[in-house]
Amino acid sequence: MRKRLNKIGCFFVSFLSFLLLTGCSTQEIIGGLTQELHQSIQQIEQKQTSSERVAVDFVRHVDGDTSVFLVNGKEQKVRYLLIDTPETVKPNTPVQPFGKEASNRTKTLLSNAKEIQLEFDEANKTDRYGRLLAYVFVDGQLLQETLVSEGLAKIAYVKNKEAKYLKRLEEKQELAKQQHLGIWSN
């Protein structure tokens, strides 16, 4: 990003010199350049943000922390990074407290979403079951954060203490614990 900004900066310095030599007022030049530079920076930031996330279509719901999405034209089972919800469909395991609530909440959010995006972690692309691992964004909101905030999920399976959204989730989990929400109500 800095290289792009340096190129943009060099272009504007050259352009400024040209305009000064042709007789344009400094105030007009600086105002125009400032606006163009601001727009260029916004475009770069938008490209970087959109390139980190992949738009997907919701196919079906599995449980509170796993869903199937259409990713680049292919159905993929996706396990949500950094969280675990109480079990509802695990073989030989009874439905756990707040499992149905977590599962229903996830299904409702995904079914009603206008836009769903996945963001992948470079260090953790798949789990041992071959599922994609991803952060799930529903209409711009991190789904994992919603579930943790409501006490319907807990932080789990942390492979990297520097994971992108870990601190944010830890703060939300602490608030849910303090408020005795969902799984923290006992």
- Residues marked as catalytic: 79, 87, 131
What's the rounded Cα separation, in Å, for the pair 107 and 137? 13
Banded pLDDT at 5 (limits 50, 70, 90)? very low
Which tens digits make up the pLDDT trace of 43-69? 444 444 445 899 999 999 999 999 999
What's the rounded Cα separation, in Å, for the pair 84 and 28? 56
What's the rounded Cα separation, in Å, for the pair 5 and 73? 35
Q: Both tokens of residue 116?
A: 């769903």
What's the rounded Cα separation, in Å, for the pair 45 and 182? 37
Phi, psi of 166 (to 5 degrees): -60, -50
For 142, other C-beta atoms within 10 Å of its C-beta total: 21
Banded pLDDT at 17 (limits 50, 70, 90)? low
Q: Which of 157, 152, 117 is nearest to 138 (CA)?
A: 117
pLDDT at 173: 98
| CB 100 within 8 Å of CB 107 | no
Range of weakest confidence among 25-29, 99-103, 126-130: 25-29
Between residues 186 and 136, the one the model is more confident about: 136
pLDDT at 9: 53
| CB 147 within 8 Å of CB 64 | yes
DSSP category for residue 149 = H
What's the rounded Cα separation, in Å, for the pair 161 and 67? 25
Q: What is the mean pLDDT of residues 92-119?
A: 96
E-state strands within the chain? 53-63, 66-71, 74-80, 83-84, 116-119, 132-138, 141-142, 154-155
Q: What is the mean pLDDT of residues 70-87?
A: 96
pLDDT at 161: 86
pLDDT at 137: 98
